[in-house]
Chain A
Amino acid sequence: MTTERGTEGMSPMKATQATQATDTTQGTGWFTELADELRRRGMAERRIGETVTELSDHLLDSGADPVEEFGPAGDLAARLAGDGGAGPGTAGGRVGDGTLPEDAGDAGAREWRFACDQYVDRDVLNRQGDLGWEVVRVDALGRFVCRRDPAEPLRWEYRREVVRRRDREEYAAELAPDGWEPCGYWLYMAYYKRPLSAATGAAGALEPGDAEPGRPWYVGRRVRTMYLALGAMLLCFIPVIVMRGGPSAATWIGAAVGGTVGGAVGWWAMRRDIERGVRDEL
């Protein structure tokens, strides 16, 4: 006699009975709190019932009290359900890939991605790095993928260099003795990170604790102005073209030539700014 219809009505009662065997109010309270926390994190109701039942059974066998055996209910709920995870059998991106899953200690780490322009990147990185954010890689869209370990957050510093693809390894090897490690490449730029502890020791560590991620994007004044100018230009030209009955061949040719020349000049100017390390205000 199993499962589907068995658990629904049965488990809460049996769970309560089970906990009454060990320690009445505290036991029940602990399991209630666990169930609430699991529910809050999106675990399916049936799965919650099974979990509570399973853990009550374990408690019966071990004879310990819930906090002693399982720790605080909230902590266990976090490790069982994750942030908004709903337990096995749901699409969590980590289901059934047949590899050993990572430790919950790592799963407690926060992840955050952000994009920023090349005038403010170093300042944003260093500011966030000082709050404990570590860049793990740069994704396909050019965003910085960061993580932060709440258990042992470190302060990180960052630097950016212009490095040709074929020189990447050599450059990284040159910087390595000073503790710099490449953390991402984007076009002709290379980003390096270093824990502040490499230079300052214990001062480079932060107090354990969580921190909220920052914004998804950071755009400095220059790039903002550029986008505004682009927007203004489009606002001027598009109505004119429409009023004249749509774009003609000449319009397209003009746009192509202008776009190519403008694009090339822009690319060159941007690269020059990057090489010079031009900075901007947010």
Chain B
Amino acid sequence: MGMATDRRASWLKGVLDLLVLSCLTDGESYGYEIARRLEEAGLGTIRGGTLYPVLNRLEEAGLLDAEFRAAERGPGRRYYRLTEAGSTVLHEQGAAWNEFHRLVGEHLAKGLAGRRPEGITGKGPTA
């Protein structure tokens, strides 16, 4: 079980910055909300220690703008917004990720074909 979580964590690490960018396509958001949305999407719990360095790097690279606002309740938050550059990079890299994902899937399918999956008539993986 530990190994499965580790592997998943390392997949997530490779794509987290794109996921964060994609959370901002329909408007601005703040750290906790971004983490919550990703968790609700089934991607697991994103800890603050993982999320904020990513937000920082994206901001430093000019892909996000951030604005600090004192909140009605609580200390205050930074609200993040996608920039033009961020949108462009998201589209380009998102497409690249999809292509990569497709190639991985195809290669794995070849490897898995012909092996009888447990409890299913040996039809092999479906497309």
> B17 to chain A: closest CB distance in Å?
6
> Which residues does chain B contribute within 8 Å of A59, judged by CB atoms?
48
Size bracket, chain B contacts:
35 or more
Chain A binding site: helix, strand, loop or mixed by DSSP?
A: helix
> Which residues does chain B contribute within 8 Å of A168, judged by CB atoms?
none
> B59 to chain A: closest CB distance in Å?
4
> Which residues does chain A contribute within 8 Å of B104, judged by CB atoms?
none
Whether a CB of chain A sits under 8 angstroms from the CB of B85 is yes
Whether a CB of chain A sits under 8 angstroms from the CB of B69 is yes
Whether a CB of chain B sits under 8 angstroms from the CB of A247 is no
Chain B binding site: helix, strand, loop or mixed by DSSP?
A: helix
Query: Could you tell me the distance between the alpha carbons of A4 and B71 in the complex, rounded to whole angstroms?
Result: 14
Known: A57-B77, A96-B61. A75 touches B49 (CB 8 A): yes
Whether a CB of chain B sits under 8 angstroms from the CB of A104 is yes
Whether a CB of chain A sits under 8 angstroms from the CB of B47 is yes
* Inter-chain contact A79/B32, CB cutoff 8 Å: no
When each residue 48-60 of chain B gets 1 if its CB lies under 8 Å from chain A and 0 otherwise, what string results? 1100110011111
> Which residues does chain B contribute within 8 Å of A7, judged by CB atoms?
68, 70, 76
* Inter-chain contact A55/B52, CB cutoff 8 Å: yes
- Pairs across A and B, CB under 8 Å, 10 listed: A6-B68, A6-B76, A50-B78, A54-B78, A57-B75, A76-B53, A94-B61, A100-B17, A101-B61, A104-B53
